[in-house]
Chains A and B, each alone.
Chain A
Amino acid sequence: MAEAHLRVFRGDAAGGDFRDYRVDWQPGEVVLDVLFRLQATQAPDLAIRWNCKAGKCGSCSAEVNGMPRLTCMTRMNLFAEGEPITVGPMRTFPLLRDLVTDVSWNYEVAKRIPPLQLKPPEADGTYRMQQADIDRPQEFHKCIECWLCQNTCHVIRDHPDNKQHFIGPRFFIKVAALDMHPLDTGDRREFIHDSGGVGFCNITKCCTEVCPEHIEITDNAIIPMKERVVDQKYDPLGALLRLVTGK
């Protein structure tokens, strides 16, 4: 057993601060293990949100030494011996208590995404899809909704007001998955331009960097989406022609 120096945020919307704890840890453990030990021995009411502890549910998101991460997938041996490990809540969402934030905005946005519009089946009543055609949307389906990309995106992290007209990286890949779905007939370009706010993204790729599922959010979803919107919305030659001909 070694001893870790943890600095954990304790507090709520009214205020709080990072508190120092000394907690034992064993080889092979992750930050969440050490938070559990802290909870069981010194801080029984420490608020943590977690479920699977296997990197599959995306509940235990936090900021570890300032980096947005899943605490269940952050190995303790990442840190030098004796180095203080700071664990704080995701900063983009309103704080509930300690490490738990109010992520309900994401669930509100989810409802606004225009759902799948199914095309009619083949003549034999089945739906056929080729694996090559679903590889890309399957990549987006890997999303575990940990909200780390939403937390990191400076469009909302630094400008909370943008939450009204910007859906964030998680939902760009949701829209992209629907758009690339072989059975979908919907057209979401208006939505993504007007209420989705894809134009706010200036491709800094911070979302891609923090994605625990290693989804190429920017390159594979957002950039092609910007191109599709531009194809429809930006047509300088046509605008010039309309100006000249008056039609």
Chain B
Amino acid sequence: METHETHECDVLVVGAGGAGLRAAIESAALGAKTALVCKSLLGKAHTVMAEGGVAAALGNVYPEDNWKVHFRDTMRGGKFLNNWRMAQLHAQESPERVLELERWGALFDRTPDGRILQRDFGGHRYARLAHVGDRTGLEIIRTLQYHAIHQPIEVFMECFVTRLLVAGGRIAGAFGYRRESGDLLLFKAKAVILATGGIGKAYQYTSNSWEYTGDGQALAYWAGADLQDMEFVQFHPTGMVWPPSVRGILVTEGVRGDGGVLRNAKNERFMFKYIPELFRAETADTEAEADRWYDQHEGNRRTPDLLPRDEVARAINAEVKAGRGTPHGGVFLDIASRRPADYIKRRLPSMYHQFKELADVDITKEPMEVGPTCHYMMGGVRVDGDTAASTLPGLFAAGEVAAGLHGANRLGGNSLSDLLVFGRRAGEGATVYAKSVKSAPPDPVHLAAAEQELTAPLQRTEGESPYTVHHALQEAMQTLVGIIRTESELQQALERLQALKARAAGVRVEGGRRYNPGWNLAIDLRSLLVVSEAITRAAIERKESRGAHTRNDFPATDAKFGAVNMVIRQRDGQMTLTPEPRPEMPADLKQLLEEK
């Protein structure tokens, strides 16, 4: 066995986006010896790409807003599959988390009376998203980053955790390597917080960066923790569709929040045809009412352009399939004809920049072409809402890698608030736990196996390129487990995944260990395959359509499936799936859902 660079801490945080940074800040503040590991440089995590805003019922623009309305919106958006305790805590605590960021230096856009301005977004009854133009994620990650570097947190940049170490049924630490040198790393930790984000790189067209390879979900799964709700993958309705090289890059929902509308090739505002029963009472049915709503919510109902993302993505998909799409296979998103150019540039500066530089489109003069793009994983590690604890003692999870808050579909803006609320709670939960236990010594046999698994692709003299296998996986998931699903295609996907597993196990990496992206990808393939299989198996089992999970062969929502979560765990090396009943919601929260 090679020598490992060894570090000891109370709490190890894996991932340095919003959730990881907020968790590390909390555990350090509570006195835990804290280490933070991230695959990229600090401040580059996916949070940096969040655009539209952070949802918090501050009530600055609409004083009638409060946590109860936010809770209700979140549950309805999630098609009632949400962990109600998480939805409650999230709605109650996000305002304080946003104000805390302000005290740490964040500069949100302002109302005329000097408070934090809030913007409209899909599925939120009131203008609720605190924002900075269309670069809110950048502001949040930079604020957390510059707060964190002055705290006692040891940061390991460009390091990759490949296995969690478990001893005596609880967390003992983690194993990984430095990307820069290829040197091996051993972290002895009493508690580990996963804050690794999502899985977008399992799909061809995604708004996600290379880091989103399902690491945290897979690490938890291999360590024996439960995953749930993996069938719910959010396709954001508006990604760029042209040119091909930028297909999938996100176009913020803020465009619609600020007055932009969707049109098909026949120039129809088609969303009026796709208003579902659940949202009919609160959605405008004429263009005139929808347009009035932007300036005056009172007495007018919201535009259907701002229905929750699952509804809009399905509608766009249907329009394109019906032959009413744009030349490049999307629909038009038009703000040019509806708002003055200086307003667009002020409210949406990076969208203006992005289309101008990458697509030669001036969004103040012409419409954008957009279509659905893989954006967010609602499922993930099953956690306790109050402490963010997983089912494995010592393992915690927060942010996108954790399941529950968003149910079957996430509302825009609820992700940034999720990171802050549950990042803090995970930091606290892990610290309390770490203080109650002695460290467990990692098992040398496990360590040797982790090392062998990591270095094997470098030692093979023949085998396929990891890039080829990754492209084949993305193609399979995109075409067979995409936005609209059906039994036969899902079964076909499972077969292909079995074959891809065998191929991934034999990939060969050229070059050495120092900063070798081919090697990184070979390692990523393991986790991508785990999450792809979990998505597919859960999608097969959920024989209904709900939220982001749409089954062609079971188009209706089925109350029987609304009562269960699909739980995935590894037992004897095999992936098992069990539908498990959801906890009963208390009467006072139920009452909130029934209010108009």
Interface residue ranges, A against B (CB under 8 Å): 12, 26-30, 33, 39-40, 44-59, 73, 75, 96-98, 100, 102-104, 107, 110-111, 115-116, 118, 126-131, 134, 137-138, 141-145, 178, 181, 183-184
Q: A54-B49, A144-B138 are in contact. Are A33 and B44 (CB under 8 A)?
A: no
A-B pairs, top 4 by smallest CB distance, nearest first, are A28-B243, A45-B511, A128-B114, A44-B518
Please report which residues of chain B, range 370-393, place their CB below 8 angstroms from some CB of chain A when the two chains form the complex: none
Residue of A nearest to B105 (CB): A116
The answer on a CB contact under 8 Å between A52 and B244 is no
The answer on a CB contact under 8 Å between A52 and B48 is yes
List the A side residues contacting B353 at CB < 8 Å: 55
The answer on a CB contact under 8 Å between A45 and B512 is yes
The answer on a CB contact under 8 Å between A44 and B465 is yes
Contact with B517, one of A12, A29, A48, A183 (Cβ below 8 angstroms): A48
List the A side residues contacting B45 at CB < 8 Å: 51
Q: A96-B515, A110-B146 are in contact. Are A118 and B103 (CB under 8 A)?
A: yes
Residue of B nearest to A106 (CB): B41
Q: Mark B292-308, 1 if CB is under 8 A from A, else 0.
A: 00000000000000000
The answer on a CB contact under 8 Å between A28 and B210 is no
Contact with B354, one of A26, A33, A54, A127 (Cβ below 8 angstroms): A54
List the B side residues contacting A73 at CB < 8 Å: 357-358
The answer on a CB contact under 8 Å between B517 and A46 is yes
Residue of A nearest to B471 (CB): A40
Q: A45-B512, A48-B517, A54-B249 are in contact. Are A111 and B465 (CB under 8 A)?
A: no
Q: Mark B337-369, 1 if CB is under 8 A from A, else 0.
A: 000000000000010011001110000000000
The answer on a CB contact under 8 Å between B465 and A40 is yes
Q: A96-B180, A137-B107 are in contact. Are A115 and B42 (CB under 8 A)?
A: no
The answer on a CB contact under 8 Å between B509 and A51 is no
The answer on a CB contact under 8 Å between A44 and B511 is yes
List the B side residues contacting A46 at CB < 8 Å: 517
The answer on a CB contact under 8 Å between B244 and A26 is yes
Q: How near does chain B come to A128, taking the closest CB pair, in angstroms?
A: 3
Size of the B side of the interface (Cβ < 8 Å), in residues, is: 62
List the A side residues contacting B135 at CB < 8 Å: 56, 142
Q: How near does chain B come to A183, taking the closest CB pair, in angstroms?
A: 8
Q: How near does chain A come to B443, taking the closest CB pair, in angstroms?
A: 32
Sample of 20 more A-B contacts, CB < 8 Å, known A55-B350, A96-B515: A28-B243, A29-B243, A46-B517, A51-B210, A52-B44, A54-B358, A57-B40, A96-B180, A107-B149, A110-B146, A115-B146, A128-B114, A129-B114, A131-B109, A137-B107, A138-B133, A141-B132, A181-B107, A183-B103, A184-B105
List the A side residues contacting B359 at CB < 8 Å: 28
Q: A50-B210, A111-B150 are in contact. Are A39 and B517 (CB under 8 A)?
A: yes
Interface SS of chain A: loop
Q: Does B61 contact A (CB under 8 A)?
A: no
A and B contact pairs by CB, cutoff 8 A, 7 listed: A49-B41, A51-B40, A56-B48, A96-B180, A107-B157, A115-B150, A128-B114
Contact with A57, one of B48, B467, B517 (Cβ below 8 angstroms): B48
List the A side residues contacting B460 at CB < 8 Å: none
Please report which residues of chain B, range 81-102, place their CB below 8 angstroms from some CB of chain A when the two chains form the complex: 102
Q: How far, in whole Å, are A201 and B107 apart by their CA atoms in the complex?
A: 28
B41, B42, B107, B511 interface centre (most CB from chain A within 10 Å):
B107
List the A side residues contacting B48 at CB < 8 Å: 51-52, 56-57, 144
Q: Mark B105-131, 1 if CB is under 8 A from A, else 0.
A: 101011001110000000000000000
The answer on a CB contact under 8 Å between A28 and B244 is yes
Q: Does B250 contact A (CB under 8 A)?
A: yes
List the B side residues contacting A50 at CB < 8 Å: 210
The answer on a CB contact under 8 Å between B242 and A28 is yes
The answer on a CB contact under 8 Å between A116 and B104 is yes
Q: How far, in whole Å, are A130 and B109 apart by their CA atoms in the complex?
A: 9
The answer on a CB contact under 8 Å between B103 and A52 is no
Q: How far, in whole Å, are A12 and B378 apart by their CA atoms in the complex?
A: 41
B149, B244, B245, B350 interface centre (most CB from chain A within 10 Å):
B245
Please report which residues of chain B, range 512-536, place their CB below 8 angstroms from some CB of chain A when the two chains form the complex: 512, 514-519
Contact with B245, one of A29, A100, A110 (Cβ below 8 angstroms): A29
Q: Does B226 contact A (CB under 8 A)?
A: no
List the A side residues contacting B41 at CB < 8 Å: 49, 59, 103, 107
Contact with A45, one of B105, B107, B132, B510 (Cβ below 8 angstroms): B510
Residue of B nearest to A138 (CB): B107
Q: How far, in whole Å, are A49 and B158 apart by their CA atoms in the complex?
A: 10
Q: A44-B509, A181-B105 are in contact. Are A57 and B244 (CB under 8 A)?
A: no
Q: How far, in whole Å, are A86 and B40 apart by their CA atoms in the complex?
A: 25
The answer on a CB contact under 8 Å between A142 and B354 is no
List the A side residues contacting B246 at CB < 8 Å: 28, 54
The answer on a CB contact under 8 Å between A141 and B44 is no
Residue of A nearest to B240 (CB): A54
Residue of B nearest to A26 (CB): B244
Q: A51-B44, A54-B250 are in contact. Are A130 and B114 (CB under 8 A)?
A: yes
Q: Mark B123-165, 1 if CB is under 8 A from A, else 0.
A: 0000000001101001100100011011000000100000000
List the A side residues contacting B517 at CB < 8 Å: 39, 44-48
List the B side residues contacting A129 at CB < 8 Å: 107, 110, 114
Q: Does B254 contact A (CB under 8 A)?
A: no
Residue of A nearest to B48 (CB): A57
Contact with B516, one of A47, A54, A131 (Cβ below 8 angstroms): A47
The answer on a CB contact under 8 Å between A30 and B109 is no
Q: Does B451 contact A (CB under 8 A)?
A: no
Q: Does B211 contact A (CB under 8 A)?
A: yes
List the B side residues contacting A44 at CB < 8 Å: 465-467, 509-511, 517-518
Residue of B nearest to A214 (CB): B353
The answer on a CB contact under 8 Å between A39 and B467 is yes
Q: How far, in whole Å, are A28 and B528 apart by their CA atoms in the complex?
A: 28
The answer on a CB contact under 8 Å between B516 and A111 is no
Q: Mark B217-251, 1 if CB is under 8 A from A, else 0.
A: 00000000000000000000000001111100110
List the A side residues contacting B249 at CB < 8 Å: 53-54
Q: How far, in whole Å, are A97 and B158 apart by their CA atoms in the complex?
A: 14
The answer on a CB contact under 8 Å between B107 and A141 is yes
Q: How far, in whole Å, are A29 and B245 apart by their CA atoms in the complex?
A: 5
Q: How far, in whole Å, are A30 and B243 apart by their CA atoms in the complex?
A: 10
List the A side residues contacting B139 at CB < 8 Å: 141
A50, A102, A184 interface centre (most CB from chain B within 10 Å):
A50
Q: How far, in whole Å, are A134 and B468 apart by their CA atoms in the complex?
A: 48
